[in-house]
Amino acid sequence: MAVSFKGAHFPEEVILMGVRWYVAYPLSTRHVEELMEERGVEVDHSTINRWVIKYSPQLEAAFHRRKRPVWVSWRMDETYIKVKGQWRYLYRAIDRNGALVDVMFSEHRDMAAAKAFFRSAKTVTGVTPDRVTTDGHDSYPRAIRTVLGTGVRHRDSQYLNNRLEQDHRGVKGRYGPMRGFKCPRSAGEFCRAYDELRNFLRSRSRVHQKVSAEYRRFHFLRRTATVLSVLRAA
């Protein structure tokens, strides 16, 4: 179903630009407000926040459908984000080439959350991994056996998960200027939208691939044009 802009007080292009800027870059809503004002568009930061709440879930869903195929070797871990002043958990996984597998917000770090994450990752990718690397949390071995099967090899090594620890910097850098979330639902929706968009704009298809500056610019402009078209048709 296409996004409805019926009743909106701003042109479709302005709304889409504001949502994309906020999701893609480490900006607050006030920063986006200032950038809009530089371009002759007067819009309050609270309006921009309402745009993000309304359209970021549709952005995430659209790019979820366009997810790159993932390999059967996954690296999975959770990182911390603050919601209403409390630390909560963001479960994330990437494959051996750094492509996003899945992301899930959880208020708890326990067996139920680990199982829910693996069920979601298996469903959205259509892949059952051969190997999963995690840290040493007690819930992971049983969750992997229960959801993914006993044939999946589980590696418990913080060192082998360094690549994912580095990858957390993306969402951490974006989350910083926001100074936390106000509710769990918006936290989960935004983080999923951010990670899906970041994965879509990623210019490297494998780890340590050399990509020229010229190609990065071409890739970014082409994918950005696709982002806008996807938002219109999400």
Cα-based distances in Å from 94 to 11, 70, 73, 195: 37, 8, 9, 11
The CATH label, of 3.10.50.40, 3.40.50.720, 3.40.50.11540, 3.30.420.10, for the domain at 73-195 is 3.30.420.10
pTM exceeds 0.85, yes or no: no
Q: Which helix (H) or strand (E) holds 23?
A: helix 12-24
Percentage of the chain beyond pLDDT 90 is 34
- Segments making up each domain of the chain, as ranges: 73-195
Predicted local confidence at residue 90, as pLDDT: 94
186-201 confidence digits (pLDDT tens): 888 888 888 888 888 7
